[in-house]
Structure 1
Amino acid sequence: MTQGVPVAAQRRSATAVRPRVDVSALVHLRTRHPEAVAEAAARRVRRPLLRASERLLIVAADHPARGALGAGGREFAMANRADLLERLCLALSRPGVDGVLATADILDDLLLLGALDGKVVMGSMNRGGLQGASFELDDRFTGHRPQDIERLRFDAGKLLLRVDYSDPGSLTTLESAARAVDAMAERQLPLFIEPFLSRRGPDGRLRNDLSAEAVTRSLAIASGLGGTSAYTWLKVPVTEHPEDMAEVMATTTLPAVLLGGEAGGTAQEQAAAYEKWRGALQLPTVRGLVVGRSLLYPADGDVAAAVDTAAGLLGEQHDDQ
């Protein structure tokens, strides 16, 4: 059996020392032993999706496959793959982090690095709606297929569902999403749907509507996709007015996690994001957080501290129950 690429030992220590990823060793392994990815997936130590607390903290890193590379005010922050992998390995090593959401290329690297043992692994399924493209809303399923998630022994899938009532491409995405719901349910695999009502502004850029009315409609649409909702979760943004979240979340009985989004480039904006999450986490259907750039590229650069703060929010809710 081919062995993986070692990550620096301090990755599993209690300190926040950032690990170093040996890109040359990764490329060598990919070049000479491409079967190593499947072997690493087969021997990965799995865990249940939920533990006793019924809370989830997932770090998201599926943005690059859609051409969305910006973070923290830097247009190409996520373009350096070694840097991204090091941030991910550090985040995954912190207490309270349950797993990762990413596309195949990133998950393959993390498998080879041995960073996914005992973690929830979510495959990102539709990344065809490239950021800024004229076809952005025709969000084809160009990532993990249900059979890939099953074959690799991953734990769940995620799809993005953006709907613009004026764009026919949305109908293609809706139909494809419904069939993905069916295919995942046939395999008894959870599927996290991230729905938005979206529209193009005068500059042609696509923007998601975070009003309470729009988020409510998007949840209703996503909840009804497919032949069963038994394995469907929702990945929900906090509305532009966080005090509306209780009424918005009353739209569905499906379990949900909060979408973190990008908190902004300042410490104040980061703190404000934590407060929004804290309030919404008190709602009965909300079971956790799926956050990417806000934790991986925080305003002060301290990945460990950002991750620990988010984990602490979930711990607060567990203690209150």
Structure 2
Amino acid sequence: MNAAELTEIRARHPERIGRSWQERARRPLIGDDGRLLIVAADHPARGALGVRGNDRAMASRTELLDRLATALSRPGVDGVLSTPDLLDDLLLMGALENKVALGSMNRGGIQGSAFELDDRITAYTPQAIAAQGLEGGKTLTRICLGDPGTVATLEATAAAVTELAEHGLMAMVEPFLSVRENGRVRNLLDPDSVIRSITIASGLGASSAHTWLKLPVVDELDRVLDATTMPTLLLGGDPEGEAHLTYAAWGAALKIPAVRGLVVGRALLYPPDGDVAAAVDIAADLVHGSGA
């Protein structure tokens, strides 16, 4: 299905989207090996379109959908994390059948804005995630001790964790300790800062029964992950880096028992050589195959 056909459905038959969500073939959240490889594509909703110096790399929706469809077609890819606009398109394309679909919730912290750290829920809500039959939701939870907007983000995260748990659905929390420098937000990636973010995020919500963490690959990862008993997925890393170094870091981290897989976006969708299928296949082998 091409972009023109998607637009035609949206214009003439928008009811097909809701019906398709109800008819979608679903699968368990995790399979026999207890691991997940999730492709992330929620960056555009925060105005974050850049990859490796090209600040408009993700601007073409047609190209992004093509790359996502390629990634989701590869063996070992369990599902996708994104916002309603992209997930609805992928649903109509038939790319979400028997895949894990995770809804990104708080996209209010637009990249580079004065209010970036006041990251309110502006995309999926827990109610919509449950009603549409998604497998869970994700929050970006940046904690800046010098920014009053942080408390709104913490409150929104806690409410989302509570409600998703009530529905028995995954609540994926991505915490960072962050600082604002020269008008830009920077996440602190030293081990002690990541540990502190874990301990804060772990206490959010009225139940932790369905909470998972999404964490960066950092130094002393064994010590960092000793801060939690929650299942952990590792985020995709810096798309600016060399691919072989990224794969090496993922492979080493996946040997830690607490790590249950990867959530990777631009590093797989926009690899340096442009070969999405090859990049995804390497990551899938690391997560589900002999590489792990």
Measured against the shorter chain, the TM-score band is over 0.9
What amino acid does structure 1 have at the position aligned with 2:200? Answer: I
What amino acid does structure 2 have at the position aligned with 1:232? Answer: T
Aligned counterparts, 1:1-321, within 5 A: 6=1, 22-201=2-181, 203-239=182-218, 241=219, 244-264=220-240, 269-316=242-289
1:250-270, CA deviations, whole angstroms, 9 ceiling, x for partnerless residues? 0000000001133316xxx11
Contact kept in structure 1, 2:177 and 2:194, CA below 8 Å: yes
What amino acid does structure 1 have at the position aligned with 2:275? Answer: D
CA distance in 2: counterparts of 1:286 and 1:316, whole angstroms: 15
Contact kept in structure 2, 1:235 and 1:257, CA below 8 Å: yes
1:11-33, CA deviations, whole angstroms, 9 ceiling, x for partnerless residues? xxxxxxxxxxx111111111000
CA distance in 2: counterparts of 1:164 and 1:142, whole angstroms: 20
Q: How high is the sequence identity, in percent, across the aligned residues?
A: 55
- Structure 2 counterpart SS, 1:79: coil
- Structure 2 counterpart SS, 1:194: strand
| CA apart distance, 1:227 | 1.1
CA distance in 2: counterparts of 1:169 and 1:95, whole angstroms: 41
Over the aligned positions, Cα root-mean-square deviation in angstroms equals: 1.1
Choose 275-284 or 126-135, whichever is displaced more.
275-284
Q: Which runs of 5+ in 2 are unaligned?
A: none
1:202-236, CA deviations, whole angstroms, 9 ceiling, x for partnerless residues? x2211000000100000111111111100000000
Contact kept in structure 1, 2:217 and 2:250, CA below 8 Å: yes
For these two proteins, the number of residue pairs brought into alignment is 292
What amino acid does structure 1 have at the position aligned with 2:270? Answer: Y
What amino acid does structure 2 have at the position aligned with 1:258? Answer: L
| CA apart distance, 1:316 | 4.1
TM-score, normalised on structure 2? 0.98
CA distance in 2: counterparts of 1:209 and 1:84, whole angstroms: 29
1:92-116, CA deviations, whole angstroms, 9 ceiling, x for partnerless residues? 0000000000000000100111110
| CA apart distance, 1:141 | 0.4
What amino acid does structure 2 have at the position aligned with 1:261? Answer: G
CA distance in 2: counterparts of 1:80 and 1:176, whole angstroms: 31
Match of 1:9 in 2: none
CA distance in 2: counterparts of 1:316 and 1:105, whole angstroms: 32
CA distance in 2: counterparts of 1:232 and 1:132, whole angstroms: 29
- Structure 1 counterpart SS, 2:239: coil
Q: Which runs of 5+ in 1 are unaligned?
A: 1-5, 7-21
Contact kept in structure 2, 1:72 and 1:298, CA below 8 Å: no
What amino acid does structure 2 have at the position aligned with 1:162? Answer: R
